[in-house]
Amino acid sequence: MTDTAASPSVSTSAVSTSAGRGVADTVTNAIATPEKEQPYGALGLKDDEYASIREILGRRPTSGELAMYSVMWSEHCSYKSSKNYLRQFGQKVTPAMKKNLMVGMGENAGVLDVGEGWAVTFKIESHNHPSYIEPFQGAATGVGGIVRDIISMGARPVAVMDALRFGAIDDPDTARVVHGVVSGISFYGNCLGLPNIGGETVFDSVYQANPLVNALSVGVLRHEDLHLANATGAGNKVVLFGARTGGDGIGGASILASDTFSEGGPTKRPAVQVGDPFAEKVLIECCLELYREKLVEGIQDLGAAGISCATSELASNGDGGMFIELEKVLLRDPSLTAEEILMSESQERMMAVVAPEKLEGFLAVTAKWDVETSVLGEVTDTGRLIIDWHGEEIVNVDPRTVAVDGPVYDRPVTYPTWIDALQADSASALPRPTDADTLRLQFLTLLGSPNLADPSWITDQYDRYVMGNTALSTPDDGGMIRVDEESGLGFAIATDANGRYCQLDPYRGAQLALAEAYRNVAATGAVPAGVSDCLNFGSPENPEVMWQFGQTVEGLSDGCLELEIPVTGGNVSFYNQTGDVPIHPTPVIAVLGVIDNVAKRVPSGWQDDGHNIYLLGITREELDGSAWAGVIHDHLGGRPPSVDLGREKALAGLLHAASQEALIDSAHDLSEGGLAQALAEAVLRFGVGARVWLGDIVERDGIDTSVALFSESTGRVIVTVPREDDVKFRGLCEGRDYPVLRIGVTDATAPGIEVQDQFTVTLDELAARHRSTLPAAFAN
């Protein structure tokens, strides 16, 4: 792998040197010098990929074409290892799943009809590798990139959230990454004025040298404002606007995102982009005004692979032809070569297609916002993407060969040698507490463990109020935003993934993540409507990783089919490993739901005294892969909890009916840490205590007290019900045949949580355990 380990600055200078000082390699030159050696290896292309480029073109590529193909055919941009699998999402669909899907996979972001003429677009995307090298800028530009995807659909971005995975909390390097990533998200997201309404934070040594930063954004639009990024209409102008193009992020797509970090390799810092959220905020407002005034046909954001990607994708999705004069690109650094301009990943740039008669109006709007603009060329009907550099042709390609018809690999797949032994090592053999003191101690140990502790030290650095439409946010089960100020129409969204489950069984692990996100959204009172996923894996060149990947996609697509909610888009991130140790498979699943009026929303904790606490669902002895096994016994083995998506669907229906009739005033999903964690969080949400008894669960489900507290069985939620609605609520559960058990009562006079015949923990002690872990690790 020495070729791909070469530093990007070396790689690009290799290209420019081959072109000669300041004079680019032209098409004519390429025809004249067919045997010229080209540094395709340093740009991440394999021998056979280079050979097929030569075959497509019928000659050697120019250095500019080579730059374009290399970034666009990288794993990050081409999905060459995952494409064959991802097709399942398009195949496993029912008419019900298509009903509200306005735009599906393959566009910048999927779009769902949420009713009343409104649509919602959302997507989650990875920015993992940049965030390890340069955590602050890596995470910041991750937010910036996903927000530009949302704008390019014609939507106003209205929320962000982040799913984060860091190394062990006590590793000396973790604080560097956490501080950088959190302040980067805070810096960029806050400055954009987008409320951050949820997300997850997980610490695990498997992410030590490979943190995961998955950024999600949601936008809203009226149906008629939907735009697709394509270049149609010969003669329409192609306009680049926003920040100037600089030397940052060159080769980022091919070299950073598609290569495993090797120890002792040269630093890759120059290939990380640098973000300017102020420029992006201005760009958002500018784009929204351009849409509002109907001055653009379409807008494509510039992300990975910069101008190479934007021109080839716009042309491929449209009439197929485009002519660009590359020297018209406004530069931050005038010494950039044509190849570097094609590859630059400078942030806060957009490319628009504008009808000639609207160009004047377009330029007036960009001038109003002080956004620099240059007309680069126009749409043609030639079927060729032609790029000139000072009057000489340096690119002449069929854009589809760059953007669409890249290589596709059927990577070798092997059933992992270690997985049978891992699955045989069940947590059922671990000693379980039998006395009240040990139960109490383990309850508190879990509550303060890094992945179950209060993440406020992180989430308090994000603005959750801006825009004034936040109906729910962390720590509630899902974030919720009002879409329509008159009717109260809104959406809820939650992300989930449990890498430990996925390591034990990736098929089931993917469905568990889906089920949990689905349940979280249902717990807020919303109806789940669509999915976006960010699939984080090790190297696709490792056949065991490809087995995990295949299992995950199958589990997820089967799960979505059963729940009848479509996958609207997402992202695959491979090469998440250091050396040859891959991360746990980590499919982060975002589920978005719709609520007819956010006034009916349900929080995750109780505020009122004397309400009954009910547990919905059955508890089994399911401790394999649990937080209890991990935290108390440092154990990972066995089979993760079973999933019954039919039951999840029934539970979601029940929760929706109960929230519509205002029968419940809180609902909290049971997942990591089980009932113990859910009860503690529900008490801490508003500081109202509770008295709880476990005897009925133990008796009905045939389990012991520790299992009742710590099992992670699915399909379970705790809800509180005002006494006057008790009969109605029980009737609702019986009518829908969902198991329900009264397990306690809220009690404002209780000192905190009182588990009958077992133990009591005061509110102060709960709060101290829950809230001190992250500040102790990271607050200076």
Partner 1 sequence: MRIGVVTFPGSLDDRDAQRAIRIAGAEPVALWHGDHDLHGVDALVLPGGFSYGDYLRCGAIASLSPIMTEVIDAANKGMPVLGICNGFQMLAEAHLVDGGLIRNDSGTFICRDQRLRVESTSTAWTGGFSTGQEITIPLKNGEGGFIASAETLARLEGEGQVVFRYLDVNPNGSLNDIAGVSNARGNVVGLMPHPEHAVEPGFGPDTPAAMRSGIDGLTFFASVIERSLVGA
- Output 335 or 780, the one with its CB closest to partner 1: 780
Name the β-bridge partners of 203: 166
- Output 123 or 482, the one with its CB closest to partner 1: 482
Question: What does the alpha-carbon distance between residue 199 and residue 6 come to, in Å, rounded to a whole number?
Answer: 35
| Tokens (6 digits) for 363 | 């330029």
Question: What does the alpha-carbon distance between residue 316 and residue 274 come to, in Å, rounded to a whole number?
Answer: 29
Select from 212-220, 392-400, 402-410, 465-473 the region that touches partner 1 (CB under 8 A).
465-473
| Tokens (6 digits) for 460 | 């308090």
Question: For residues 683-712, which are near partner 1 according to CB under 8 A?
Answer: 686
For 435, other C-beta atoms within 10 Å of its C-beta total: 11
Under rule CB under 8 A, residue 629 binds partner 1: no
- Output 187 or 547, the one with its CB closest to partner 1: 187
DSSP string, 463-504: -SSTTS-EEE-TTSSSEEEES-TTT--EEEEEEE--HHHHHH
Largest Cα span, the chain: 88
Under rule CB under 8 A, residue 749 binds partner 1: no
From 418, 431, 465, 724, residue interacting with partner 1 (rule: CB under 8 A): 465
* Nearest-approach distance from CB 465 to partner 1, in angstroms: 4
From 54, 244, 358, 464, residue interacting with partner 1 (rule: CB under 8 A): 464
Our CA dihedral for 442, 446, 449, 450, rounded to 10 degrees, sits at: 160
* Nearest-approach distance from CB 464 to partner 1, in angstroms: 6
Question: What does the alpha-carbon distance between residue 32 and residue 220 come to, in Å, rounded to a whole number?
Answer: 52
| DSSP helix/strand/coil, 160 | strand
* Nearest-approach distance from CB 99 to partner 1, in angstroms: 30
From 100, 401, 469, 711, residue interacting with partner 1 (rule: CB under 8 A): 469
- Output 464 or 620, the one with its CB closest to partner 1: 464
Nearest alpha carbon to residue 645 among 510, 454, 552: 510
| Strand (E) or helix (H) holding 655 | helix 645-660
* Nearest-approach distance from CB 472 to partner 1, in angstroms: 8
* Nearest-approach distance from CB 332 to partner 1, in angstroms: 16
Contacts with 332 (C-beta within 8 Å, 6 or more apart), sequence order: 243, 244, 245, 246, 247, 346
Known catalytic membership, residue 635: no
- Per-residue contact flags (x/-) with partner 1 for residues 274 to 313, judged by CB under 8 A: --xxxx-xx-------------------------------
Question: What does the alpha-carbon distance between residue 451 and residue 168 come to, in Å, rounded to a whole number?
Answer: 10
Question: What does the alpha-carbon distance between residue 123 and residue 110 come to, in Å, rounded to a whole number?
Answer: 7
Known catalytic membership, residue 584: no
Under rule CB under 8 A, residue 367 binds partner 1: no
Select from 142-150, 190-198, 626-634, 704-712 the region that touches partner 1 (CB under 8 A).
190-198
Spot the catalytic one: 127, 611, 668, 770. Answer: 127
Under rule CB under 8 A, residue 772 binds partner 1: no
Under rule CB under 8 A, residue 186 binds partner 1: yes
* Nearest-approach distance from CB 479 to partner 1, in angstroms: 13
Under rule CB under 8 A, residue 482 binds partner 1: yes
Question: For residues 590-619, which are near partner 1 according to CB under 8 A?
Answer: 598-599, 603, 607
| DSSP helix/strand/coil, 21 | coil
- Output 647 or 685, the one with its CB closest to partner 1: 685
Question: What does the alpha-carbon distance between residue 544 and residue 550 come to, in Å, rounded to a whole number?
Answer: 10
- Output 48 or 485, the one with its CB closest to partner 1: 485
**From start to end of 693-774, where are the E strands?**
717-721, 740-746, 752-755, 759-762
Our CA dihedral for 396, 401, 404, 407, rounded to 10 degrees, sits at: -140
* Spatial contact of 577 and 583, defined as CB atoms under 8 Å apart: yes
* Nearest-approach distance from CB 456 to partner 1, in angstroms: 9
Select from 27-35, 134-142, 408-416, 460-468 the region that touches partner 1 (CB under 8 A).
460-468
Under rule CB under 8 A, residue 471 binds partner 1: yes
Contacts with 271 (C-beta within 8 Å, 6 or more apart), sequence order: 8, 133, 249, 250, 251, 252, 255, 256
Q: Are strands 101-103 and 156-166 parallel, antiparallel or unpaired?
A: unpaired
- Output 445 or 772, the one with its CB closest to partner 1: 772
* Nearest-approach distance from CB 392 to partner 1, in angstroms: 39
- Output 218 or 707, the one with its CB closest to partner 1: 218
* Spatial contact of 603 and 479, defined as CB atoms under 8 Å apart: no
- Per-residue contact flags (x/-) with partner 1 for residues 191 to 210, judged by CB under 8 A: xxx-----------------
Question: For residues 309-348, which are near partner 1 according to CB under 8 A?
Answer: none
Under rule CB under 8 A, residue 462 binds partner 1: yes
Under rule CB under 8 A, residue 779 binds partner 1: yes
If binding means CB under 8 A, how many residues of this protein chain bind partner 1? 36
Residues at the site binding partner 1, with contacts judged by CB under 8 A: 183, 186-187, 190-193, 276-279, 281-282, 369-370, 460-471, 482, 485, 598-599, 603, 607, 686, 779-780
| Residues marked as catalytic | 76, 127
